[in-house]
């Protein structure tokens, strides 16, 4: 939502603001592309009301002005004659600025990406995008041709009205409300009569919102009737809860439409007591990797929501969602106290260990676990980098692509395939596993039957150094494991005649000058002519590339150019040197091609292009 241009006719604090063109387009997509699941608008609005009421209760612990009324609830009032549906709550409410900010969620949730995803999605997949992008409020426009929001912030005497038809603009003006909270009034479309029927509304609440802790009521024939049970599922034993109830609660708390890949439901008793109900999604939320790293598991104290910022789980388990409810913390616990209390520290450790053990159990089903790994493996691997307590557990849970086998493999499986004389686990890092599998960097290892793990996630450039070893075997980047090749013997493919490197290497060093730190022969190449490597003790080239992408200022590293003495191109270069020909241009072409093989752009693209064109123009055959 753009910052407003006030309407010239605005008076007494009223004004009209324009949606940005992009947001207007997305509103149109939401209204027309999610038609088949119109009922979810009610789930989203009731969930927002419940969150606002939770927020007010938490704020009231430290601010008496926020105190909730004793009969706080969420009310749904259908008016068939006026064709109005009103959802009211006693929550924290919003002032004028908060109405502008909070009803602009679409604009803060990746509008362009959302629009592209929505347009390309299959009709049956579109509903799940609502929760993933935080556009739940705007689902109201699927059933309403106008929406009015009247809200009064707790602790304030002022109320404001936000109104929009969802077609391009919204208005703001002062309003009246006798108490704090929010009323959302939908002017129901002519083809949405079902959402004015109390019985239909009751079915929707039972389906989507039955587990909300606050009472939800529906006005029917002039009487207010309870619409939900408000049961805290996490406090029930597992055998008292059906799979359908668990799935409904999962959808409520995650705003997803898939079924959970795994559900953890248990109660801890003894020195500390808490109940937990956690879920691992079966699909990866769109733009998941761009989210904040903090865990958002909800902390409750005696059923009352306290915060979702307690960091119950470490960042590398942030894909897990759910509720942890304890008796051992005071209701007026502050965020500062949460960070310092040893009770929460013990709860965090117990919950993390439970999740890790559950993943170990689920990992025994390789096919199912592969689905999980494709969704959340890159996040889980972060635990090997930033959590010394669990890094060995995460290593055992991790799966990798390999030069030796199809599909995924574990480190334990890798150990069973190691050669007798092998004392290290070899890996190579890059941006794409297929490219890595064909990379000159691993030719010598593959030719000798030594397996190499192909690591293509950004975190893969960091965690191997932190993990160090696995089951007594060092993890070694192939760039640092070149000297190990001698112990595995020479591959048969390297039996070809070698070029005269004694004259070629000095000539190349002279031609390339400061562009390389060294030029040397290597026996790790089989079909490739050359490869770049980091100088002794220098940073890995892939790590350096990642750091540059992230905008970090790092010292420039001059690479080493390594040549395959048996390759025809190297033979040709050696012959040219022996004949007294100049090889400056060819030497730079060789270096630039090696850079391209390494996934980098030549430092001087124009110079590279000129050299190639000159070489082709001369009709060179070398």
Question: Residue 142 is encoded by which pair of tokens?
Answer: 């699927």
Alpha helices per DSSP H over 121-185: 128-133
Residue with tokens 């592209």: 116
Element holding 475 (H helix, E strand): strand 473-477
578 labelled ligand-binding: no
Q: How far is CA 354 from the centre of its chain?
A: 22
219 labelled ligand-binding: no
DSSP conformation letters of 384-402: HHH-TTTHHHHHHH--BEE
537 labelled ligand-binding: no
Instruction: Find the angle CA(484)-CA(487)-CA(490) to the nearest 5 degrees.
Output: 100
Please state, in angstroms and rounded to a whole number, the distance separating the CA atoms of residues 304 and 413. Answer: 46
Question: Residue 388 is encoded by which pair of tokens?
Answer: 């010394």
Please state, in angstroms and rounded to a whole number, the distance separating the CA atoms of residues 150 and 178. Answer: 11
Instruction: Find the angle CA(102)-CA(106)-CA(109) to the nearest 5 degrees.
Output: 105
614 labelled ligand-binding: no
445 labelled ligand-binding: no
254 labelled ligand-binding: no
Question: Residue 317 is encoded by which pair of tokens?
Answer: 């388990």
| Strand partners of residue 281 | 260
141 labelled ligand-binding: no
Separation in Å, CA 508 to CA 440, 515, 519, 572, 573: 20, 11, 7, 13, 9
94 labelled ligand-binding: yes
418 labelled ligand-binding: no
φ, ψ for residue 442, nearest 5 deg: -110, 5
258 labelled ligand-binding: no
Torsion over CA of 474, 478, 482 and 487, rounded to 10 degrees?
50
Give SS3 for 179.
Answer: coil
77 labelled ligand-binding: no
135 labelled ligand-binding: yes
332 labelled ligand-binding: no
Please state, in angstroms and rounded to a whole number, the distance separating the CA atoms of residues 134 and 103. Answer: 10
166 labelled ligand-binding: no
Question: In 10 A of CB 225, how many CB atoms?
Answer: 11
3-state percent helix, strand, coil for the chain, nearest multiple of 5 = 45, 20, 35
Element holding 577 (H helix, E strand): helix 568-578
Residue with tokens 């733009």: 287
CA atoms within 13 A on the CB side of 364: 5
Give SS3 for 184.
Answer: strand
89 labelled ligand-binding: yes
- Give the annotated binding-site residues: 44, 48, 89, 94, 102, 109-110, 132-137, 182, 335
Binding-site residue numbers for ATP are 44, 48, 89, 94, 102, 109-110, 132-137, 182, 335
């Amino acid at each position: 939502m753009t910052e407003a241009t006030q309407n010239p006719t605005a008076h007494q604090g009223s004004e009209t603001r324009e949606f940005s063109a992009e947001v207007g387009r997305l509103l149109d997509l939401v209204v027309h592309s999610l038609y088949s699941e119109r009922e979810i608008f009610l789930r989203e609005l009731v969930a927002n009301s419940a969150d606002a009421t939770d927020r007010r209760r938490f704020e009231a612990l430290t601010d008496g002005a926020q105190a909730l009324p004793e009969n706080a609830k969420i009310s749904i009032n259908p008016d068939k004659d006026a064709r109005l549906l009103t959802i009211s709550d006693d929550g924290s409410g919003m002032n004028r600025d908060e109405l502008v900010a909070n009803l602009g969620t679409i604009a803060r949730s990746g509008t362009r990406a959302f629009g592209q995803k929505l347009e390309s999605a299959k009709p049956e997949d579109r509903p799940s995008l609502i929760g993933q992008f935080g556009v739940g409020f705007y689902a109201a426009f699927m059933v309403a041709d106008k929406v009015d929001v009247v809200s009064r912030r707790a602790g304030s005497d002022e109320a404001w009205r936000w109104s929009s038809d969802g077609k391009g603009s919204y208005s703001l003006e002062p309003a009246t409300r006798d108490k704090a909270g929010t009323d959302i009034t939908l002017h129901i479309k002519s083809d949405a009569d079902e959402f004015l029927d109390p019985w239909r509304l009751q079915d929707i609440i039972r389906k989507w919102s039955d587990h909300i802790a606050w009472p939800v009521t529906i006005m029917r024939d002039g009487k207010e009737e309870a619409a939900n049970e408000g049961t805290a599922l996490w406090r029930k034993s597992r055998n008292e809860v059906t799979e359908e109830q668990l799935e409904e609660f999962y959808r409520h708390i995650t705003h997803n439409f898939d079924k959970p890949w795994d559900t953890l439901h248990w109660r801890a008793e003894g020195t500390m007591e808490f109940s937990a109900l956690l879920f691992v999604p079966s699909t990866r939320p769109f733009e998941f990797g761009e989210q904040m790293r903090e865990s958002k598991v909800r902390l409750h104290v005696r059923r009352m929501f306290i915060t979702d910022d307690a960091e119950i789980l470490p960042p590398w388990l942030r894909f897990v969602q759910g509720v942890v409810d304890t008796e051992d913390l005071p209701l007026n616990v502050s965020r500062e106290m949460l960070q310092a209390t040893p009770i929460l520290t013990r709860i965090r450790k117990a919950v993390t260990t439970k999740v890790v053990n559950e993943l170990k159990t689920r990992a025994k089903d390789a096919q199912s676990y592969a689905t999980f790994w494709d969704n959340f493996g890159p996040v889980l691997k972060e635990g090997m980098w930033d959590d010394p307590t669990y890094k060995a557990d995460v290593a055992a849970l991790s799966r990798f692509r390999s030069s030796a086998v199809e599909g995924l493999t574990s480190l334990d499986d890798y150990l069973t395939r190691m050669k007798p004389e092998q004392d290290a686990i070899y890996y190579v890092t890059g941006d794409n596993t297929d490219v890595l599998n064909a990379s000159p960097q691993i030719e010598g290892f593959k030719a000798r039957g030594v397996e190499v793990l192909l690591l293509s996630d950004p975190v893969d450039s960091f965690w191997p150094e932190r993990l160090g070893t696995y089951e007594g075997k060092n993890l070694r980047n192939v760039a640092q494991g070149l000297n190990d090749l001698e112990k595995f013997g020479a591959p048969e493919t390297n039996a070809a005649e070698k070029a005269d490197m004694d004259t070629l290497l000095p000539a190349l060093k002279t031609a390339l000058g400061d562009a390389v730190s060294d030029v040397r022969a290597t026996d790790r190449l089989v079909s490739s002519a050359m490869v770049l490597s980091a100088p002794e003790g220098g940073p890995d080239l892939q790590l350096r590339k990642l750091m540059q992408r992230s905008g970090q200022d790092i010292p420039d590293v001059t690479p080493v150019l390594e040549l395959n003495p048996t390759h025809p191109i190297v033979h040709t270069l050696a012959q040219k040197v022996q004949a007294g020909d100049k090889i400056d241009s060819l030497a730079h072409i060789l270096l630039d091609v090696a850079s391209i093989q390494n996934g980098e752009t030549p430092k001087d693209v124009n110079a590279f292009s000129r050299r190639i064109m000159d070489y082709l123009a001369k009709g060179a055959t070398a």
